[in-house]
Amino acid sequence: MDGQLLRLLTASLMVVRRPDVAALDWEVVATTLPEEPIGQRPCQLVMTELVEGRLLRGDAFVVRSDEQRHVFRGAGPLDGLPPGLLPEPLPELHPSDDPEDPR
């Protein structure tokens, strides 16, 4: 985070592709060894994905932070994410498309 290493225990990256928006929504939830809470502010995250060693980076905002749990919300693109990794967005469901709708 901003060039500072976090002493991670675990971290999860969630990425969402919405049908009506070109940009991806993403969020990181990290658990660290006890440290000072991080104030709410913009930051840049650089992450290494452990399975294949991909380097991911993007601007984010610190949403919440306590001594061990930290939530970062993406504030722009997430660089390094392979395009074919995410499924295509699901189409929007309109009431007339819903088989459970009695109309």
DSSP letters of the chain? -TTPPP-EEEEEEEEE--TT-SSPEEEEEEEESS-PPPPS-EEEEEEE-TTT--EEEEEEEEEEE-SSEEEEEE-S--BT--GGGSPPPPPPPPGGG-TT---
Give the span between the Cα atoms of 51 and 79, in whole angstroms: 17
Residue-by-residue pLDDT tens, the chain, 103 positions: 887 888 889 999 998 888 787 788 999 999 999 988 998 999 999 998 877 788 999 999 999 999 899 999 999 999 988 777 665 666 666 666 556 666 5
Predicted structure pTM score: 0.77
